[in-house]
Structure 1
Amino acid sequence: MSRVSGAVSAFAAWVTLAEGRRRAAVAFGAGALSALAMPPFSIWPVLALTFPVAVWLIDGASGRTRLRSALHAAGVGFLFGFGYFLAGLWWIGSAFLVDADVFGWLLPFAVAGLPALLGLFHAAGFALARLLWRPGWRRVLVFATGLGLAEIARGHLFTGFPWNSYGYALADQAWLGQFASVIGVEGLTYAAIAIFAAPAVLADGRPSRALLGTAFAALAALAAFGGVRLALSPTAFDDKVVARVLQPEIPQDVKSQESARDTVMDAYIALTDEARDPQRRGFADASLVVWPESAFPFLLAQTPAALARIGASLAPGAALVTGAVRGARRPDGSGEADFWNSVYVVGDDGSIRATYDKIHLVPFGEYLPFQSALEALGFEALTRQRGGFSSGDRRAVLSLPGGRRFRPLICYEAIFPEEAAGEERPDFLLNVTNDAWFGRTPGPYQHAAQARVRTIEQGLPMVRSANGGVSSIVDSYGRVLASAPLGERGVVDARLPLPIEPTVFATTHGLLHLLMPAAFLCLVFARKSRV
């Protein structure tokens, strides 16, 4: 043990005393390596190597005043965050190659610009930690508080972007992620930072090592809680609902062409009606059919022939839930129209039974911030919808003909815990998305994994249809019951899992995570401590 401690101490000293380019390289490299904790790699123990490096970098953030030390910490925090987000989000650039003649020039700005903006949150978190810095084991909890608060802010400010929040390193493992049913992924973020930063104390004296044991005990407790919860909770099914979920794998440059309307519609109908075996004969055996986001290169509600074809294909009493663009003329007589990214419920008579309009739109993808100014300069959203999409005005729970109710989540709405919540509790969550923008990259894997955590938080199953992504049916504990591999055309067939009783997270409206930084700081600033 003494040899290990000596080696760690030597390395910690090397990191702490690093200056200039070496210091910048260490911060960037540690951040980039941290991205391996996220899907599709899911090497979560790597954080036990990189977070201690972050602690040691903040140890070395010295200055003549506390403010200068905080600014120094902000610098290494920015580089750590920039490395993390560059390595974890580079795939976003793929979307700019779908229509490369128009958007290709923006690719380097998107690939480097978004990580740089998100890195500012890490800079703020590291700076806050340095302002509150304390020696020994206390600095680990201070680091967890500062970076954790920064991560929560990243998920909420400026419309929010909680993609690859550190809590997903734990939540991606079903047996480690079950405590999300109590504190949510935001609470797991604080836990992950504190647990994986704890090895930093190996470079300290013996009194600090009690924290390392506490961290191991916390990780073991999460694993035990998850293992027991899963073992005692077999999946229950609703025998009245048999779902067929499509993963059509229609290329984005084809799906968006109006000239391909018949080709696209034929592909959906043929794939839905494809017999997989005598028990899965397509439309005839499915009471719920799900097609992905923005499924059509035309306005479905204004295309009676398409609705009639859908109605004629569905079995009696069955329903199609599909993503589609909805359009309507403005009532001001201007002749202009507004458009929404929507979900429709279509009945067996071809009528639209219910509609939901997406609320949480993707900046630059579905709308342009400062729209008038940017459009005047020639910019447009990636969807190439002039004026962008309009936002819906309310969350909704929609009903199927048989009475089952679901909460629709369109695209990246599924990464926001609050979008899956609401006073009106449904029977299941339904996520439609179009990840064909990103091809066979880590993006669709990350999207699917983050959406799955909503089932653990809410205690609700999820049905997920993704074009160019990972389609699946997930039970109320986050167990994937059936799925289609990324990049493969196919369907997912399964009975609908039943919901469970509302979780602690659901009943407390996801607020328990707020207790964690308060508890950390109480421990840090307590006059006497036996840790």
Structure 2
Amino acid sequence: MERLAGKVMLLWGWQRALLAIAAGAIGALALPPVGFFAAFFVSFTLLVWLMDGSTAGSEGGFFRRFRSTFILGWLFGFGYFVAGLWWLGNALLVDSDEFAWALPLAVFGLPAYLALFYGLAAAIAGILWSDGLGRLAALSLGFGIGEWLRSFILTGFPWNTIAYGIMPIPMMMQSAGIVGIGGLSMLAVFIFAAPALIGTRKGMVGGLAIAVLLFAAHLGYGAWRLHGADAMMAARPQQDVSVRLVQPVIDQARKMDNSDRVAIFEEHLALSSAPPSEGVKRPDVIVWPETSLPFILTQNQDALARIADVLQDGQVLIAGAVRAEDAGPGRPPRYYNSVYAIDSQGQIIGASDKVHLTPFGEYLPYEDFFNSIGVGNVVDMPGGYTAGSRRSLITLPSGVSFYPLICYEAIFPDEISLEAEKASVILNITNDAWFGITPGPYQHFQQARVRAIETGLPLIRDANNGISAVVDPFGRISTGLDLNHKSVIDSTIGGGAVSHWNNFSRQTHLWLIAAAMFLIAAISRQGFKSRVN
């Protein structure tokens, strides 16, 4: 290990750059659907040794070190995000005649932007870099700040945050309920980077001991929490509500063909009205995925009447739809990506709009500039969608309340408001058919599962082509449908769990961990400077 570490530190030029990119790409193997979390041990060990080479000596001063470590972190991030997000390009191939030219921007442009946050993470770590275990704390702090910034700058895109790499199974997800994704990312970086100490020896015993204790605590807490999971849910109020999730598997190109709307609508209705399996209760609630209703309901009473014909007395349909709103004389209507609740009389009894829209998919930032160079939305909607002002609970006559998260809203833990505490269940409807059979739907599903653990609420997730599932408050799948399996799920909404999660405590834990990492790194850095001088 010492010989290998020395070779990595001494690499220069294109060899150093290529290894940094490869190290990041290897880390993407920790993400779904592969979920080989040990890949991050290789990834971050190599990054530490590369950082050792970039920070060796004091020639050139602060700005040279900052530039060197920033570039190194950017290369690492570029490899990680290209390997983890290449599937985004699939969305542009749905309408390839119009958007194929933008394929390089999706596959390489977005990763190049996201890599800036990892470049900053490495640069921050470089300021506090030392030769012992303190450099692991410095790297953890840097990535913690980088991931925090990535979660909200330019509306945020915290997809594939490092923490998701250390939670391939429910037992390894439970820690997110205490420290949140941000705090867990910092702790994960420390753990994953610890093997680098074997190659340099300094601080090895202490650093490995801390990493082993952190990892053991991560696993131990997960095992303890799952051991008492069933008893905990049994002690909470149970919800005697049966639900059917409809997974219609409608090809995205077909959804965009206006001439096929009626047939698509009837396919959803046919799946909804299919009799339940023998011994299974008739569903009280039927759920359709995002934008499944191919009409503007307020402009199509026939569609509402058709829904009323199919629903039995007391049943409710919850479905994704486009909602139109009059914007005033001489102005085009505003469109919202919404979810409706419709009763058996064909009446809309609840609704909520998507609050966090997808840039370049549902709206165009800096619209005038991009329109001037011929760039438009991937979703063909005049003027794009309008963001909802607030997320509203959907409460049914039975008293069951759904906290709606439409599409990628489920990847933003910080946006789950206090309203969720009043909810019975999280509802995530989505249309991942844009991404085909790629890692995208698997990654999206994993992130939605973690929201259930954070909130202590069961999760109902309905996706056009998958992955649809009912997930308990501990992230365990009660029942589900895999990608491109056209069918329905009949299940019940279970009880909740005791959750330690809320916005305040999660942010408190994040900054407490950051403070601890800073102190370890700063003390180690001071000792390192004293030895050098």
Fold in common (TM above 0.5): yes
Contact 1:85–1:115 (Cα < 8 Å) also in 2: yes
CA-CA distance at 1:246 after TM superposition: 1.1
1:508 aligns with 2:505: yes
The 2-side partners of 1:335 and 1:387 are apart by 11
Contact 1:180–1:505 (Cα < 8 Å) also in 2: no
CA-CA distance at 1:296 after TM superposition: 2.6
1:140 is aligned to: 136
Contact 1:28–1:83 (Cα < 8 Å) also in 2: yes
SS in 2 for 1:240: coil
CA deviations on 1:288-332 (whole Å, 9 max, x unpaired) are: 11000011332123211111121222222221111100012212x
Contact 2:276–2:490 (Cα < 8 Å) also in 1: no
SS in 2 for 1:355: strand
Moved more, 56-65 or 158-167: 56-65
1:4 is aligned to: none
The 3 A distance-change label for structure 1 pair 486 and 56 is: same
CA-CA distance at 1:258 after TM superposition: 2.0
1:200 aligns with 2:193: no
1:252 is aligned to: 252
1:457-496 maps to which residues of 2 (within 5 A)?
457-496=454-493
CA-CA distance at 1:525 after TM superposition: 2.7
The 3 A distance-change label for structure 1 pair 526 and 127 is: closer
CA deviations on 1:149-183 (whole Å, 9 max, x unpaired) are: 10111111110000000101123321111011111
1:306 aligns with 2:299: no
**Number of corresponding residues:** 518
Contact 2:457–2:497 (Cα < 8 Å) also in 1: yes
2:428 is aligned to: 431
The 1-side partners of 2:137 and 2:50 are apart by 15
1:112 aligns with 2:108: yes
1:328 aligns with 2:325: yes
Contact 2:273–2:311 (Cα < 8 Å) also in 1: no
CA-CA distance at 1:424 after TM superposition: 5.2
The 2-side partners of 1:46 and 1:483 are apart by 28
1:517 aligns with 2:510: no
Of 221, 224, 230, the residue aligned with 2:217 is 221
2:391 is aligned to: 395
Contact 1:456–1:476 (Cα < 8 Å) also in 2: yes
Of 277, 281, 289, the residue aligned with 1:292 is 289
The 3 A distance-change label for structure 1 pair 335 and 206 is: closer
1:375 aligns with 2:371: yes
Contact 1:475–1:481 (Cα < 8 Å) also in 2: yes
CA-CA distance at 1:381 after TM superposition: 0.5
Contact 2:128–2:521 (Cα < 8 Å) also in 1: no
Letter in 2 for 1:10: R
The 2-side partners of 1:238 and 1:301 are apart by 35
The 3 A distance-change label for structure 1 pair 510 and 256 is: farther
1:158 aligns with 2:158: no
The 1-side partners of 2:359 and 2:261 are apart by 27
Of 14, 25, 30, the residue aligned with 1:37 is 30
SS in 2 for 1:345: strand
Contact 1:294–1:341 (Cα < 8 Å) also in 2: yes
CA-CA distance at 1:139 after TM superposition: 0.4
Letter in 2 for 1:361: L
The 3 A distance-change label for structure 1 pair 424 and 410 is: closer
The 1-side partners of 2:70 and 2:500 are apart by 37
The 1-side partners of 2:46 and 2:108 are apart by 23
The 3 A distance-change label for structure 1 pair 254 and 473 is: same
The 1-side partners of 2:265 and 2:391 are apart by 29
The 3 A distance-change label for structure 1 pair 507 and 153 is: closer
Of 12, 16, 25, the residue aligned with 1:19 is 12
The 1-side partners of 2:311 and 2:209 are apart by 58
The 3 A distance-change label for structure 1 pair 207 and 258 is: closer
Contact 1:324–1:343 (Cα < 8 Å) also in 2: yes
1:410 aligns with 2:406: yes
CA deviations on 1:266-290 (whole Å, 9 max, x unpaired) are: 1001112223522348xxx110110
Please list every run of 5 or more consecutive structure 1 residues that lacks an aligned counterpart in the other structure. Answer: 1-7
CA-CA distance at 1:132 after TM superposition: 1.4
SS in 2 for 1:243: strand
Moved more, 442-451 or 129-138: 129-138
CA RMSD across the alignment: 1.7
Contact 1:74–1:124 (Cα < 8 Å) also in 2: yes
When the two structures are superposed, what TM-score results if normalisation uses the length of structure 2?
0.94
The 2-side partners of 1:420 and 1:490 are apart by 30
2:47 is aligned to: 54
CA-CA distance at 1:238 after TM superposition: 3.7
Letter in 2 for 1:75: I
The 1-side partners of 2:472 and 2:11 are apart by 48
The 2-side partners of 1:28 and 1:397 are apart by 44
The 2-side partners of 1:376 and 1:356 are apart by 33
1:316 is aligned to: 313
CA-CA distance at 1:336 after TM superposition: 1.2
When the two structures are superposed, what TM-score results if normalisation uses the length of structure 1?
0.94
CA-CA distance at 1:440 after TM superposition: 0.3
The 3 A distance-change label for structure 1 pair 396 and 418 is: farther
Of 59, 64, 68, the residue aligned with 2:64 is 68
1:265 is aligned to: 265
The 1-side partners of 2:404 and 2:239 are apart by 21
The 1-side partners of 2:486 and 2:264 are apart by 13
The 1-side partners of 2:279 and 2:403 are apart by 28
SS in 2 for 1:322: strand
Percent sequence identity over aligned pairs: 39
The 1-side partners of 2:50 and 2:273 are apart by 58
CA deviations on 1:480-506 (whole Å, 9 max, x unpaired) are: 111101121111111101122342446
1:443 aligns with 2:443: no
CA deviations on 1:36-94 (whole Å, 9 max, x unpaired) are: 00000000011111101111111111442122012111111111000000000000000
1:9 aligns with 2:5: no
Letter in 2 for 1:257: D
CA deviations on 1:229-275 (whole Å, 9 max, x unpaired) are: 10111154845200100111000111122211110111001112223
